[in-house]
Amino acid sequence: MQLYLPIADIPVNVFLILAMGAAVGFVSGMFGIGGGFLMTPLLIFVGIAPAVAVASVASHIAASSFSGAISYWRRRAIDPLLALVLLTGGTLGTALGVWTFTLLRSLGQLDLMIATSYVILLTTVGALMFWEGLRALLRARRGGPVTTRRPGSHVWIHGLPLKMRFKRSKIYLSVIPVVVIGLIIGFIGAVMGIGGGFILVPLLIYVLRVPTSTVIGTSMVLTLVTMVFATMLHAVTNHLVDAVLALILMVGGVTGAQFGARAGQKIRGEHLRLLLGLLVLAVGVRFAVELVIRPEDLFTIRETGVTG
């Protein structure tokens, strides 16, 4: 069934988009991530303009992270204070990100920027995750204790001022790194059309030592608020949010996520991390190849304004 997308301005097959939403939802449910880093590239590959893809995926991630956040809230697995401090940085970062997005778009370098940031971010994070997963797997195979790395030694971050006690997470630390992390995630989320969960969770665990009991729920709250904010800003400044596209993605996504979550419970943690690492790496490499090989067409056209 063909449907004409009002903002993306192209006809698409509803079932294809629905299936993409479900597939990404499955993956996101399985790994407990938003899945934006998969959704945006997929939309770009089917021919939706990168700018529209980034802006529309923001609302799709908002939907999936809201349903996730609700269930984590019921289980009291969210640290409200930590989420609030992260958000102060997050909203600022999102605003900066949307502003950068608009600027790059007018310079004609937005697509390049989106592609290169995907390459850099995904290959680095993917390789790290893969390596970490592989090591954990080998350690488990050798029969050694599977340590969830949470060394107690103090690093420089714990020497920063403005300390605060986050009760539910049982940590006592400076607000500065928390705000900075929120800022970074908000910024890349708005520019790249990703929720940033797959970067935020490791950052919270390894840098801020947030316990695993609250980490995913809290990161979902940050994702939710920054993505709602990004949707609003993209709608107001660039008019690029395709609500029809977003709705199809959301419906597919939240459904797929349920099945993904069930599948995820059957796989061991190390395997899961290894798989996620591989997946992230693969998307990054796909973008890298796109940049390096000679494009099929060297020329592109974009409408810049209506006259008369």
Would you say 152 or 292 has its CB closer to other proteins? 292
Nearer to other proteins (CB atom), residue 174 or residue 255? 255
Nearest to other proteins of 179, 283 (CB atom): 283
Give the angle 9-10-12 at the CA atoms, nearest 5°.
140
Which two tokens mark 291? 């940049």
Binding site for other proteins (CB under 8 A): 1-4, 6-7, 9-11, 59-60, 62-71, 74, 108-109, 111-112, 116, 227-228, 231-237, 239, 241, 243-244, 246-247, 250-251, 254-255, 257-258, 291-295, 297-308
Q: Which is nearer to other proteins, 156 or 299 (CB)?
A: 299
Residue 136 or 227 with smaller CB distance to other proteins? 227
Sign of CA dihedral 146, 150, 154, 157: positive
* Distance between CA atoms of residues 142 and 153, nearest Å: 26
Which residue, 149 or 293, is less far from other proteins as judged by CB?
293
Q: Select 241 or 275, whichever has its Cβ closest to other proteins.
A: 241
Q: Round to whole Å and give the CA distance between 124 and 281.
A: 8
- Determine whether 156 is exposed, middle or buried from the number of CB atoms within 10 Å of its CB (0-12, 13-18, 19+): exposed
CB 167 to other proteins: min, Å: 25
Best CA proximity match to 224, nearest among 189, 181, 248: 189
CB of 306 to other proteins, least distance (A): 5
Q: How far is the CB of 112 from other proteins (least distance, A)?
A: 5
Neighbours of 151 (CB within 10 A): 9
Q: In this structure, are residues 221 and 249 in contact, taking their beta carbons and an 8 Å threshold?
A: no
- Minimum separation from the CB atom of position 176 to other proteins (A): 30
At its nearest, how many Å lie between other proteins and the CB of residue 47? Answer: 11
What distance in Å separates the CA atoms of residue 232 and residue 245, rounded to the nearest whole number?
16
Minimum CB separation of residue 175 from other proteins in Å reads: 27
Q: How far is the CB of 19 from other proteins (least distance, A)?
A: 17
Rounded to whole angstroms, how far apart are CA atoms 13 and 180? 41
Cβ-based nearer residue to other proteins, 4 or 131? 4
Give every CB contact of residue 189 below 8 A, 6+ residues apart in sequence.
Answer: 36, 58, 93, 94, 97, 195, 196, 223, 226, 227, 230
Query: Going by C-beta distance under 8 Å and a sequence separation of 6 or more, which residues neighbour residue 50?
Result: 40, 44, 110, 111, 114, 115
Contact 64, 253 (CB under 8 A): yes
Amino acid occupying residue 258: Q
Give least dist CB 66 to other proteins, A: 3
